[in-house]
Structure 1
Amino acid sequence: MLKGLGNLGDMAKMMKKAQEMQGKMAALQSELENTVVIGESGAGLVKARATAKGDLTGLDIDPSIFNPDEKEVVEDLILAAIKDAQSKAAQKSKEEMEKLTSELGLPAGMDIPGL
């Protein structure tokens, strides 16, 4: 169809590929916003929920750890659960990005801004 246009045909293919990638990136962004990961600490006594984009959405704290003498321990457990959730969110995001770049034929590890 664009055979006689030389480099313009290649440019058209590249533009089509860029539009395809933009659509897939938008879908991935939405998926990451709706994917929930759970971080835990203290053998599950504290759980933090976050989106795969890393936004903290909730905490679940077992009431057994509410001892006034253990305030610092509780704070540490909460921070550990949040960090675990953020780490899992980053890993999930990375895995999904690797799938997308692979599908699009892009080099492994290519960083796409906005994700």
Structure 2
Amino acid sequence: MKDIMGMMGKLKDMQAKMERMQEEIAELECEGTAGGGMVTVRLSGKGVMLGMHVDPSMFKEDDVEILEDLVVAAHNDAKGKVETLVAERTRELTAGLPIPPGMKLPF
């Protein structure tokens, strides 16, 4: 019976930590760049685009496709950084817990 109570306490602690981590993740900001800094995208920890900057020299009619590609590349760069930060925070939080392999947190 002691083991069940101990496990329940650990689960409650884990839930509180997960809630704090979700709040921290929401406050994270990552910046991705492409084209040598010609395009910059800022994302929140939840993947919401917060802003974008495009160097004015990119606004030429014949460069539209290049600009579109750079925006996508900058977004993907920022998204990769967000995912890395979230994975690091999750690993820190779940260190030592018996979580099944392949289980992705946060849910």
> Taking structure 1 as the reference length, what is the TM-score of the superposition?
0.84
**Alignment correspondent of 2:59:** 66
Q: How well do the aligned residues superpose, as a CA RMSD in angstroms?
A: 1.5
CA distance in 1, matches of 2:82, 2:51: 14
Pick aligned residue for 1:79 from 67, 72, 75: 72
After superposing on structure 2, the runs of 4+ consecutive aligned residues of structure 1 that deviate more than 3 Å are 107-110
Long gaps (5+) in structure 1: 1-7
Identity, in percent, stands at 38
**Alignment correspondent of 1:42:** 35
Partner letter of residue 99 of structure 1? E
Counting matched residue pairs gives: 105
The 3-state SS of whatever aligns with 1:111 is coil
Pick aligned residue for 1:97 from 79, 90, 93: 90
TM superposition shift of 1:111: 2.7
Long gaps (5+) in structure 2: none
**Alignment correspondent of 1:106:** 97
CA distance in 1, matches of 2:105, 2:33: 30
CA contact 1:38–1:47 (8 Å) conserved in 2: yes
CA contact 2:90–2:106 (8 Å) conserved in 1: no
CA contact 1:52–1:88 (8 Å) conserved in 2: no
TM superposition shift of 1:35: 0.6
The 3-state SS of whatever aligns with 2:97 is coil
